[in-house]
Amino acid sequence: MKNHKQNTHFVHIGNQILNWYTQNARELPFRKTKNPYHIWICEIIFQQTRIVQGMQHYENFVARFPNVETLAAADSDEVLLYWKGLGYYSRALNIHKAAHQIMGDFNGLFPEKYEDIMSLKGIGKYTAAAISSICFGKQIPAIDGNFYRVLSRIFADDFDVSSSQAYAYFEALAMQIIPENAAGDFNQAIMDLGSEICKPRNPFCSECPVHKECNAFQTGKIADFPVKTKKVKVENLALQYYFVGFKNQFLIQQRGDDFIWKKLFEFPTEIPDSFLDFILDEKVIKHKLTHKNLSITISKIELNSNNAFKNFAQSNGFSIINKKIAHLKPFPKPLENYLKNL
């Protein structure tokens, strides 16, 4: 289906979805507010994790950083600490930088214009559209995977969602069915419909409010949509760490911001040959990131000389900590789990 003209049938589909949402919307804390700061934080968090898993993270984050001013005034390490367990730590750093932008460029007030929201660090079209529609009533669809899946199935549309033109294509299509002055609720309706009913696998089509209008369902081709031809290449990556300890202390360093796990803490990645004789055991941990399969080897070293331990730390810029202090530092999930099991 390549040409989508606005007509009463399209409007009818949009109204059916909106009516379904009015009766079936999930009870979520962030739906009780139009505060753009809260909507921004929840959108970033729930882009990367399921709502059930991310809810406590969201509540903890906004409790500690209730507004832009508080977030901007915080240290980046503390922001990362409250992001711990969510992954995608670069997003936490971007949120922190964007808070500084709001304080500096917009006098501490969250911008209302779509273009200004787009100018904030780490905010793309989807997040800007969600904030604009939910908080400021703008008639803008927030196109994400749910939109791609729901619309491509309703219209049995074979437009490739992996195409660079997919966002613009489905944005134009969505504009044909969004009820007037209801983009905020409609965007959330598609989110709920896509996550609860029109799932990627084993959708509950009989419960869908538009299954009678859904071309893919009526022709028995739900599994064929959405169409996605490009496959992202997955990289295999091997990492080596050395847990260098002396009594109840061990060494850590903070990562840079040029690779995975930006600004998180880690163990040393290199040791002198003289330390090899003190390796007690090695553990290999498998971990998956987006587009990366990690194989992480952690060699546990227990030194018998406090001088050697301190000299190695001082000459290489490592921090000396213990497990109690480690709980106050943000580590990548595999290293955090390693520490818990010591």
**Is 4 a residue whose pLDDT tops 60?**
no
Handedness of CA 310, 78, 99, 334 (dihedral sign): positive
Residue 311 confidence (pLDDT): 97
Tell me the two tokens of residue 134. 């939910």
Q: How high is the mean pLDDT of the chain? A: 94
Q: Say what percent of the chain tops pLDDT 90.
A: 87
DSSP 105-119: HSTTSPP-SHHHHHT
> Predicted confidence band at 157 (pLDDT cuts at 50, 70, 90)?
very high
**Tell me: the pLDDT tens digits for 235-253?**
999 999 999 999 999 999 9
Q: Whole-prediction pTM value?
A: 0.85
The residues assigned a catalytic role are 43
For the chain, the first-to-last Cα distance in angstroms comes to: 58
Pull the structure tokens for residue 110: 């969250």
Q: How far apart are CA 112 and CA 118, in angstroms?
A: 10
Rg from Cα positions in the chain: 24
Burial class for 43, CB neighbours closer than 10 Å (0-12, 13-18, 19+): buried
* Residues 86-131 pLDDT 10s: 888 999 999 999 999 999 999 999 999 999 999 999 999 999 999 9
Task: Round to whole Å and give the CA distance between 31 and 239.
Answer: 41
Domains of the chain by range and CATH?
8-224 (1.10.340.30), 235-340 (3.90.79.10)
Q: Evaluate whether 128 touches 118 at the Cβ level (below 8 Å).
A: yes
Report the amino acid identity of residue 37.
Y
E strand or H helix at 294? strand 292-302
